[in-house]
Chain A
Amino acid sequence: MASKPVQTPKFIVRALLIGAIAIALAVLPAFIDPYTLRIATGALMWAGLACAWNIVGGYAGYISFGHSAFFGIGAYTTAILMQSDIGASFFATLIPAIILSMAVAVVIGGPTMRLRGAYFAIATWAFAEMLLQLTTVLDFTGGTAGLSLPAYLNEFFFYYTMLIAAVVSFAGVWLLIERSRFGFRIKALRDDEPAAQSLGIRTNLVKVQSFALSAAITALFGSIYAYWTTYIDPHSVMGPDITDQMVVMVLLGGLGTVWGPALGAVLLWITNRYIWSTFGDTVIYLPILGIIIALVVLFLPNGLISLIVGPQRGKELMSSILRKF
């Protein structure tokens, strides 16, 4: 008879580990220079975005190429409301940004998520591209000239705002997807939709819920980003690059895991900044992203996580280890 493994010490180790990371992230700004602080802020943003994309792409199994639309909705909502003639305060703009993005996600999510696989990917991309074109021709978005926001040049403020947003996103995703019935519904949907349906899961509702949740987190980071950079234009917040990076970060880290996207995001973002500081621009970053994604698909289909734990257990671990975490 094999004895039952003792759970408590493992749990304590993990709790201590998370606590240590949290404290390290909280005190980090005191020890680094402003330039590194900006990079850290960016890393937190991309980790949060990757986490958001993972809800639809990793857990629900719908590869979305349209998430830049929600990032842009968040950024534009904040930018428009903060302009001098309206003059809303930053935190007041977050609520409308989230509500608007969720509303858009519900309206387009319902019909779009009837499509499967590649059809869904094409449709979301077409939708994002449509919104991008729309922002370039509308007046209140400033057209191609973009919009400026009131500058608030406090790097500590943005670091902690991003940190709180990222922590809330990750904790929310962990609680909702790894620790609740909602998570089981999403995974059932991904693994076998007809079977999930036959068990009484309202799959359409679950799809739209996960899409809206993902959109809300994406828009939240879009809002913070707009205030942080103080200037936005259609291509910087609605362009396909935003989606591209979200997709690649999640694929690299591990689809459908809690911590994989954060790992992929931090690694790729630091690579991006390193290339930028070495070559003066990030043009070479795109082909590197492309090669990474192709190699990951060929050799590491379960992401970097499987590199750490071994290719064979990678896939089981992907869904099980992190659920226990």
Chain B
Amino acid sequence: MDLFLQTLVNGILIGGILICLTIGFQLTFGVLHVIDFAVGGWAMLGGYTAYWLVTLVGIDPFISIFLVFALFLLIGRGMGPLIYRVRTSRYARPDLMALAFTFGIFLFMQGGALWLWSYNSRSVESVLSGQFLSLGPVTIPLMRLSAFLMAMLFSLGLFILLYRSRFGMAVRALAQDRDHAGLMGVDVKRVSAWVYGIYTGLTAAAGVLIATIYSVNPSVGVRYTLFAFFVAVLAGLGSVGGVLVAGLALGLLEAYVATYIGARYSLLIVFGTLYLALLVAPKGVLGRGI
């Protein structure tokens, strides 16, 4: 029973970070209708930036996460118009072209990371590393708890932005109907670019949190792209709210498989479930819409 509870807590804590990883991705799909293959790449780069900030400058990852967020917000804002251009181009299949474009960016990130940092894993240390909180039978590493809270903070920030600001109203209008939003005076191109920026910032922040708990190496990009897809498919592509449930579900699935079946089977079962989920409910299990 203790093991069961411990696994439950582990799953929830990881699930929270997966929520942060996927929530921006969903926003991008909802507004731009782009499936960004580079999602894991942004997370990986966020992790590496935090690694640099802590080893070269000495800024704790739980502080530098805000710097990483701001930095990637600007990078994404800069790239936004390109994504928008491809997605709204007059190619025969702009959706597939946008997919191919982000896939190219992803290869660039992954290869660039290999070139810069080699295959070795880098761990991101924090002052909280190695401290634990004991709650009855359950032991919680303070790192994981703070990462979870940080992920919730960022996700909550996105919800406030979406539902309590003029900008959020414009974003939701865009997600509903791009043409009409444009007619109503929303600067479609600019808002889309900012949405892409917010997405990259959130994903890089999630990458920092992942790097503090595990470690970061160039191959985590593929893994977290697939994890983000998993959560997004389960939630229904474009559904920001569904991510809350789907992220927790994936965190729990991975934790329980790792504890009771074996860690080396966890990816196999995760990807198998993703494949089946797509076949059974391609439009998502939990509804859609922003």
Contact = CB atoms under 8 A, between A and B. Distances in A.
Interface of A: 61, 63, 111-112, 114-115, 117-119, 121-123, 125-127, 129-130, 133-134, 136-137, 240, 244, 247-248, 251, 283-298, 301, 315
A125 B104 CA distance: 15
Contacts of A125: 226, 229
A314 to B, nearest CB: 12
A126 B86 contact: no
A283 B101 contact: no
B142 interface: no
B100 A293 contact: yes
A137 B107 CA distance: 27
16 contacts: A115-B282, A118-B35, A118-B96, A119-B237, A119-B282, A121-B99, A126-B278, A133-B265, A133-B271, A283-B111, A286-B107, A286-B111, A287-B111, A290-B109, A290-B111, A291-B104
DSSP class of B's interface residues: helix, strand, loop or mixed? helix
A294 B111 contact: no
B176 to A, nearest CB: 20
A297 B282 contact: no
Contacts, number: 131
B114 A123 contact: no
Nearest to B229: A122
A123 to B, nearest CB: 4
Counting from the closest, the 3 A-B pairs by CB-CB distance are: A286-B111, A290-B108, A293-B104
B160 interface: no
A292 to B, nearest CB: 7
Q: In the complex, which of the residues B222, B230, B267, B271 has the most CB atoms of chain A within 10 Å of its own CB atom?
A: B271
A112 B106 contact: no
A122 B91 CA distance: 21
Contacts of A111: 279
B35 A130 contact: no
B265 A290 contact: no
Given A117-B95, A123-B275, A287-B112, A298 B100 contact: no
Nearest to A137: B264
Contacts of A298: 82, 85-86, 101
A285 B112 CA distance: 9
Contacts of B35: 118, 121-122
Contact of B111 (A115, A134, A251, A284): A284
A286 B97 contact: no
A301 B98 CA distance: 11
B164 interface: no
Contacts of B272: 126, 130
Q: In the complex, which of the residues B107, B109, B279 has the most CB atoms of chain A within 10 Å of its own CB atom?
A: B107
B100 A127 contact: no
Nearest to A63: B96
A204 B101 CA distance: 28
Contact of A240 (B97, B99, B115, B222): B222
A114 B190 CA distance: 35
A121 B101 CA distance: 14
Contacts of A291: 104, 108
B275 A301 contact: no
A110 to B, nearest CB: 10
A247 B222 CA distance: 16
Contacts of A315: 92
Contacts of B92: 315
Q: In the complex, which of the residues B104, B112, B115 has the most CB atoms of chain A within 10 Å of its own CB atom?
A: B104
Interface string B165-209: 000000000000000000000000000000000000000000000
A63 B100 contact: yes
Interface string B199-241: 0000000000000000000000010001001100100010000
Contact of B268 (A119, A130, A284): A130
